[in-house]
Amino acid sequence: MHARSRALISVHLSVAIAAIAASSCRATDEPARLFPGYGGYHRTVSTASPEAQRWFDQGLLLVYGFNHDEAIRSFQAAADVDPTCAMAWWGVAYANGIDVNDPEMSEAANQAAWDAAQSALAQLDGATPVERALVEAVAARYAWPAPADRRALDEAYAAALGRAWADYPDDPDVAALYAESLMVLQPWDYWTAAGEPVERVLEIVAVLEGAMASHPAHPGANHFYIHAVEASSNAGRATAAADRLRDLVPGSGHLVHMPSHVYINTGRYADAAAANERAIAADEAYFLLAPPPAFYSLYFIHNIHFLAFALMMEGRYEPALAAARKLEAEVPAQFLDEWVEIGDGLMPAVFHVLIRFGRWDDIVAEPDYPKARRASRAIRHYARAVALANLDRTSDARAELTSLDALVPELEEGWMIGVNKAVRVLAIARKMAEGEILWREGRADDAYAALREAVTLEDTLVYDEPPGWMQPVRHALGALLLAGGEAAEAEQVYTTDLEDNPENAWSLLGLEQALRAQGRTQEAGALVLRLERAWARADVEPPASCYCGVRPASD
């Protein structure tokens, strides 16, 4: 989506996420449970206990699905059943560690990981050579007391896994773990904006492709591969991995969700929506059985957010609005109280949905947010400015723009919308709203200029899924260009958007209209089948790629 950006998560966001994880303490005092939907993958470990083996297999699938807290409980259960099983202790140590989304460890997690690694080392007499290599690698990952900067430990861990992979290149778990260890050294920093590889990402990709070639149903390899290539210029190379992962571990909401990262980037919006609907259902079933989730609950929220975006791209207003309302309802109040700077920016998705579908009166009727929720309040001012402009209340719209301008300086420090700084996203909102107001004031050229600036700002956002800006700006720009008789430029706008957002219904509609406006009816007719596929599940029939393009400027 959009220009490919080097997605470095900000230091502030990393620290905040780490603190959320720390508050959970990776607790293991709750009893372990065997969950439905976690069969289908097995790694034989050195134990005489079928029960310990069962717990280990579940733990491995849980940790491959980024549910570390629950994985620890399963691995610990395996160790309780068979304390001589080195790999059970390996699992406890590994699952207490960092991953690409959780870059820090609490003191409790550090000590638990260190203790488990030492227990694993003590049981190596009964381990196989590859188990010995994995245990020695995880032992290199931790120290106690833990250093303030763990970079050297992470590098030592990756180096040890690299040696293990060289010795056991046909072992898919070794390959997946090695690739992940390299990803952790450069989290979300895999491709430049121009699509060029960063640091060791080509090695990561090669290792994972090798693992999938020999073991195509490996859940960890498929999962990590999607993350490794989704922000590249060829996310489609992960289509097979996405299709495989979709049904591999039906009990893991995160693994069920993961294919949508590929589907969104390859124009399969219906499949993306379906994946997230199934992921949400899987997680809700899990939450009925499991202890209250800590860090993992953020993945559940992510699925709902992702669903809303996919449905918006399909033109499905009612379920998109329902997903946006669910997002607001499901975010824990305590999380929002403590981490409003990183959580609040995702919350007002309802306004993005209402703008997407031109529900101007509904936007004006939406109540305000509490004062502490600055990002939500800012998005509300933006949405009201757009809505009031489209209701021909341009003076009121400008008042909302003034309120937005007054609020933005309060979001300079630490406020995020996804992985982007809130002020960067709100700069797009400001230009979008300004463009809409100028259009309704009859200043078409100025409106186009404002929206072109918004496009440039959108294109420079850090890569994120769902994207930091949920309605592509080009949909508004193209619609207004068409309404103003600038069909040739509108065609270019839609063509570019279809490169960024393949086969999206809105730009296909705009492109068809732009071609017809230029008298190119045969080319427009050639789009009919694509349009029918794109709008197949829509519950609206929009007049343009943006409801703001219904009629020309007033003068």
DSSP collapsed to 3 states, 434-472 = HHHHHHHCCCHHHHHHHHHHHHHHHHCCCCCCCCCCCCC
- Token couple for 512: 């068809």
* C-beta separation of 387 from 365 below 8 A: no
Query: Rounded mean pLDDT of the chain?
Result: 94
Residue 28: the pLDDT is 52
pLDDT: which is higher, 550 or 244: 244
- Token couple for 237: 């190379």
Residue 23: the pLDDT is 47
In this structure, the number of other CB atoms found within 10 A of the CB of residue 199 comes to: 12
Mean pLDDT along residues 56-65: 99
Q: Up-side HSE of residue 28: CA atoms within 13 Å toward CB? A: 21
- Asked if 11-29+104-317 and 472-555 have one fold, the answer is yes
Q: Is the pLDDT of residue 8 over 90?
A: no
Task: Please write the tens of the pLDDT for every residue from 369-396.
Answer: 999 999 999 999 999 999 999 999 999 9
Q: Which residue is listed with tokens 């949909």?
A: 475
| Length of the chain as a residue count | 555
- My answer on whether omega of the bond before 129 falls inside 30° of 0, hence cis, is no
Residue 286: the pLDDT is 97
Give strand pairing partners of 421: 416
Q: Is the pLDDT of residue 474 over 70?
A: yes
The pLDDT-based confidence of 12 (bands split at 50, 70, 90) is very low
Q: Can you give the residue ranges of every domain in the chain?
A: 11-29+104-317, 337-345+355-460, 472-555
Rounded to whole angstroms, the Cα distance separating 441 from 93 reads: 63
Task: Please write the tens of the pLDDT for every residue from 181-231.
Answer: 999 999 999 999 889 999 999 999 999 999 999 999 999 999 999 999 999
Q: Is the pLDDT of residue 10 over 60?
A: no
Rounded to whole angstroms, the Cα distance separating 420 from 8 reads: 9
* C-beta separation of 374 from 411 below 8 A: yes
Contacts of 369 (CB under 8 A, 6+ apart): 348, 376, 377, 380
Number of helical H runs and strand E runs in the chain = 29, 2
Residue 555: the pLDDT is 44
Task: Please write the tens of the pLDDT for every residue from 14-41.
Answer: 444 544 544 444 545 789 999 999 998 9
Contacts of 109 (CB under 8 A, 6+ apart): 21, 22, 25, 26, 96, 97
The pLDDT-based confidence of 455 (bands split at 50, 70, 90) is very high
Question: Domain spanning 472-555 has what CATH number?
Answer: 1.25.40.10
Which class would CATH give 11-29+104-317? mainly alpha
The pLDDT-based confidence of 291 (bands split at 50, 70, 90) is confident
Rounded to whole angstroms, the Cα distance separating 376 from 382 reads: 10
Residue 415: the pLDDT is 97
Name which of 142, 64, 56 is nearest 106 in CA terms: 142
Q: Which residue is listed with tokens 């050579």?
A: 129
Q: Is the pLDDT of residue 249 over 70?
A: yes
Task: Give percent helix, percent strand, percent coil of the chain, each to the nearest 5.
Answer: 65, 0, 35
For the chain, the first-to-last Cα distance in angstroms comes to 35
Task: Please write the tens of the pLDDT for every residue from 97-140.
Answer: 999 998 889 999 999 999 999 999 999 999 999 999 999 999 99
Sign of the torsion angle spanned by Cα atoms 374, 376, 382, 388: negative
Residue 551: the pLDDT is 60
Would strands 420-421 and 416-417 be described as parallel, antiparallel, or unpaired? antiparallel
457-461: long-range contacts, CB 8 A cutoff, minimum separation 24: 457/424, 457/427, 457/428, 457/431, 458/2, 458/428, 459/2, 459/3, 460/3, 460/5, 460/424, 461/2, 461/5, 461/420, 461/424, 461/425, 461/428
The pLDDT-based confidence of 412 (bands split at 50, 70, 90) is very high
pLDDT: which is higher, 271 or 39: 271
* C-beta separation of 92 from 75 below 8 A: yes
Considering the entire predicted model, what is its pTM?
0.94
